[in-house]
């Protein structure tokens, strides 16, 4: 599978997007989830485009798809007994050109302290 950037850089992009959105956040707030998801996705997409655009047209060689899922933890995030007590599994599959297209998944570790899980998926399709 070809990647538009090294896996470590994709991880840093996802981490940076999560940290920029959640740094002022203390805990899960359902009224803010749509805003948080949009900000994470826009941050990731803009960073990917900026880092991979080439030539005079400044167009990347890939189409990008970003997905952000935020899941609320039950109970108080400061109570250690609630952390890790929910079940969650995330998966993605596709039929595509394995030489040009791919996917990367990321779970932000800092989310548990804020009473949530955050899972990011970055997909690319070679042009």
Residue 58's pLDDT band (cuts 50, 70, 90): confident
Q: What is the pLDDT of residues 9-35, one digit of tens each?
A: 999 999 999 999 999 999 999 999 999
| pTM, full prediction | 0.87
Structural domain contains residue 86: no
Lowest-confidence segment of 1-5, 35-39, 40-44, 76-80 by average pLDDT = 76-80
CATH number at residue 110: 3.30.1140.40
Report how far apart, in Å, the C-alpha atoms of 122 and of each of 10, 41, 55, 62 are: 8, 9, 23, 12
Q: Which tens digit of pLDDT belongs to each residue from 102-127? A: 999 999 999 999 999 999 999 999 98
Query: In which domain, by residue range, is 44 found?
Result: 7-78+91-126
Question: In this structure, is residue 34 part of a structural domain?
Answer: yes
Query: Which residue has tokens 């900026």?
Result: 50
Strands (E), the chain: 62-72, 102-107, 116-126
Answer whether residue 52 is part of any domain.
yes
């Amino acid at each position: 599978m070809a990647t538009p950037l090294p896996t470590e850089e994709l991880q840093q992009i996802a981490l940076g997007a999560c940290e920029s959105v959640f740094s002022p956040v203390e805990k899960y707030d359902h009224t803010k989830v749509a805003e948080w998801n949009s900000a994470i996705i826009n941050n990731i997409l803009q960073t990917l485009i900026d880092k991979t655009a080439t030539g005079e047209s400044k167009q990347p060689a890939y189409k990008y798809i970003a997905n952000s899922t935020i899941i609320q933890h039950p109970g108080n995030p400061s109570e250690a007994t609630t952390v890790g007590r929910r079940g969650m599994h995330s998966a993605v599959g596709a039929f595509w050109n394995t030489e040009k297209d791919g996917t990367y998944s990321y779970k932000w570790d800092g989310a548990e302290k804020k009473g949530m899980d955050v899972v990011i998926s970055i997909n690319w399709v070679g042009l």
